[in-house]
Structure 1
């Protein structure tokens, strides 16, 4: 016989799985106490004891769905690094997958994106770490023209904004090119102009057009070199930890925000 703690976790997992299916297939309105308890084979008091109320259950379910998505993204990043996949191509693939996830899971996106939520999302924080890992690879390749933290903030904000804007419009009236247009603008602002040799399959040709007049045609080679060296500083074993920390501080002074 399982100890009480095991039984509690099993009940929680069963309820979460059932509620997640209802949320994906029918939306938050379908996640009722009656429907969840019947499908999970538990009594209502068990649900209230584990989650407090329906809002608590919805929050746990949203976290569960996002955590599954983030776990798969972490695997993608590890595989891209192991296969030496082009870092910009990997960043673009991650962007597109995140947009698809947000549009396919509107209730999860809205629940976890609500700034009034009492609890922070561990899955969201982990997902931001995955994005940071992707951006770090771009920086190591010498193709980032702003700081890594700035690039992460920009990609995150742009992604959230695109999904939010698209969800505000009925599915049959959404602009199918909005996410790609935002991606192009985003890449213009954070990447160096070596994209002419970049095999990424997305509309970024204008970024290397000398007549385009975009911000992408005014790279500062010193700043770009500082971003690249700062990204690699942790691996400079010839320096002591204190020296590496000092190097990062110095490079930060010449790195564009």
Structure 2
């Protein structure tokens, strides 16, 4: 293994093990058994090292996309791309936070490639008449929402503990960028696993809960109203 690769591997391990994802160049040099001049010769500075760490880690995720190539259905690729993006973030929380940190003044090449892949899927959807927005605008919407959800899941897991949150946001964004027919077709193909059966129940439960909160039922006791509200809350929280 070359000196550069050894430094990179050590830095990636330290980032993954760090409580907050931060590392020092001194710790990297000590663990890689190299002097600071060697680190700076290969990476320039700490930001250059961290950018290389991000590209190194995210490249493994992108490799699966490169090998797979575009599928027959670009909308299916959009759904899969969202889900694998979130899965990668959950499996590599420190690396993902680092990749999207404001401290990274230069966007990592891996992040730029991910955006290009997304835009390509959207351009294919547009060519098939399935997109209601320009691919560039749709890509910005999808990426902003996808990254936002992933960051909340890895940064605030106790607040954003609902496993279905990602799917809900994904479907809301896709409903906004896809034509109604394309979205309905994708939802139908997804089947009950994506929560499509009984889709009116959550909305109806949420509406009833809101109405009762403003005008409590005169035939129910306080305890009964509280219990009913809990049940309605559970029903409205189903995906």
CA distance in 1, matches of 2:21, 2:87: 22
- Contact 2:152–2:160 (CA under 8 A) maintained in structure 1: no
User: For the structure 1 residues 196 and 62, does the alpha-carbon distance in structure 2 shift closer, same or farther, using more than 3 Å as the test?
Assistant: closer
CA distance in 2, matches of 1:68, 1:119: 20
Aligned match of 2:144 in 157, 170, 175?
Answer: 157
Q: Residue 136 of structure 1: CA displacement?
A: 1.9
Indicate the residue corresponding to 1:203 in structure 2: 194
Determine whether 1:43 maps to 2:43. Answer: no
- Contact 1:87–1:141 (CA under 8 A) maintained in structure 2: no
Q: TM-score, normalised by structure 2?
A: 0.68
| CA-atom RMSD in angstroms | 3.0
Q: Residue 121 of structure 1: CA displacement?
A: 2.0
Indicate the residue corresponding to 2:65 in structure 1: 73
> Structure 1 stretches of 5 or more lacking a match?
1-6, 213-257
- Contact 1:196–1:205 (CA under 8 A) maintained in structure 2: no
Q: Residue 194 of structure 2 aligns to a residue in which SS?
A: coil
- Contact 1:99–1:163 (CA under 8 A) maintained in structure 2: yes
Q: TM-score, normalised by structure 1?
A: 0.64
> Structure 2 stretches of 5 or more lacking a match?
204-239
Residues paired across the two proteins, number: 196
CA distance in 1, matches of 2:26, 2:155: 30
Q: Residue 191 of structure 1: CA displacement?
A: 1.2
Indicate the residue corresponding to 2:104 in structure 1: 117
CA distance in 2, matches of 1:200, 1:70: 24
CA distance in 2, matches of 1:104, 1:12: 25
Q: Residue 29 of structure 1: CA displacement?
A: 5.3
Q: Residue 24 of structure 1: CA displacement?
A: 2.8
Determine whether 1:18 maps to 2:5. Answer: no
Choose 29-38 or 171-180, whichever is displaced more: 29-38
CA distance in 1, matches of 2:112, 2:22: 28
- Contact 2:51–2:108 (CA under 8 A) maintained in structure 1: no
